Structure 1
């Protein structure tokens, strides 16, 4: 049964599914097709030539989008004393230590990002079974285990996007909202592509970026030419 709506079918009718576009043209097309009644997220998906089952082919990191994500991120910070005060001053939504751990164990998690100072990790580590599956376990590789909690909070709220390659070699992330201007979306997509290239692992051989697609929440995807990935 064909479940596609009229809006989606209309958008599809005007697309060349085989065309590989520049970032700017892809943004223009996807933004133009984002006609839902809410502010759709612009999403990027990349197929990489890696096998993440091998440690030297893991692709993971964080990209600070120059124009933010367009969404409000609630941040929890594990810290004590002066570092706790720094986190609160930077705008953290929840700050604590043992009390925060108990809150999480009770299933009360009104936040999307968790940051911790290094001395808090023995405590946070006991929450791995809860935070891990939700993708919220702090990790120094993406800047969420740090003494500079103020910067980490500011980055999280200002446009930091974590990425991690999945089993099939795919990475996907939100890179803005349909309400953003074309220029801002183009800058965000370009920054994300550069971050992926920078995170290329030593074990990656041959073609690293195989495919790139851009879409909105309710719209069809378009292909981006892989030559658009900065070297």
Structure 2
């Protein structure tokens, strides 16, 4: 059995027995034990009572966190003409059409969010096998296939987080940095949970929000009381 490092051992001891605590307690515990040499990310994982293999149980959406993510987001935009100029002026890092498609096909993906105007989707569609597995495929349901390029770029740069339920019904995301004040992290947690709650699909039956856990990049997870995270009945 591998020997645990001092930091890992100390963290596990600090987190032992900490289950179903309030959001404030969880954030405080995680922040007080974030001792890495870099600014760790606060991560959230939510187990939902859905089976995303069924279309009427898919959970997908976006939320603009009140205090941002603390992460610099690189944005690529597929557009031509005036819309390409609009994207550049809004702060997009990469703007292109066929040339950008060829760059991506060549394996060079230097962006965290991909936006496209509707007329560019025949080109972007060819990149499905590359962008899809990385959750970078533009989608009108989350506002990344749009003619309002300026708004989409500014939202991506301004702390908007996309979320999508994976096969096991788990939604996870990075929602802040350990350098944030505890109060700001708590606000981000509640904003994210609220957005996922509002994205409850019509096909979801029984308890929707089954488990909420928080962790930092290097820490164990802490289970958060669902009522504390939402203020609502978890079945709602």
Q: What TM bracket, shorter-length normalisation?
A: over 0.9
Contact 1:197–1:230 (Cα < 8 Å) also in 2: no
Match of 1:188 in 2: 188
Q: Distance in 2 between the 1:78 and 1:13 partners? A: 49
Q: How far off is 1:11 after superposition?
A: 2.0
Q: How far off is 1:4 after superposition?
A: 3.0
Alignment of 1:36-47 (within 5 A): 36-47=36-47
Q: How far off is 1:120 after superposition?
A: 0.8
**CA pair 119-25 structure 1, distance change in 2 beyond 3 A:** same
Alignment of 1:30-69 (within 5 A): 30-69=30-69
CA deviation map 1:152-190 (0-9, x unaligned): 111111111111111111111101111111011011101
Question: Is 1:85 matched up with 2:85?
Answer: yes
Q: Distance in 1 between the 2:15 and 2:136 partners? A: 37
Match of 1:75 in 2: 75
Q: How far off is 1:3 after superposition?
A: 4.3
Match of 2:101 in 1: 101
Contact 1:36–1:218 (Cα < 8 Å) also in 2: yes
**CA pair 230-197 structure 1, distance change in 2 beyond 3 A:** farther
Match of 1:112 in 2: 112
Q: Distance in 2 between the 1:202 and 1:170 partners? A: 17
TM-score w.r.t. the length of structure 1 is 0.96
Q: How far off is 1:204 after superposition?
A: 0.6
Question: Is 1:229 matched up with 2:230?
Answer: yes
CA deviation map 1:116-157 (0-9, x unaligned): 011111111111111112211100111110111111111111
Q: Distance in 1 between the 2:3 and 2:173 partners? A: 25
Alignment partner of 1:42: what SS? strand
Gaps of 5+ in 2: none
Gaps of 5+ in 1: none
Q: Distance in 1 between the 2:178 and 2:90 partners? A: 28
Q: How far off is 1:15 after superposition?
A: 2.7
Q: Distance in 2 between the 1:3 and 1:77 partners? A: 47
Alignment of 1:75-224 (within 5 A): 75-224=75-224
Q: How far off is 1:7 after superposition?
A: 1.1
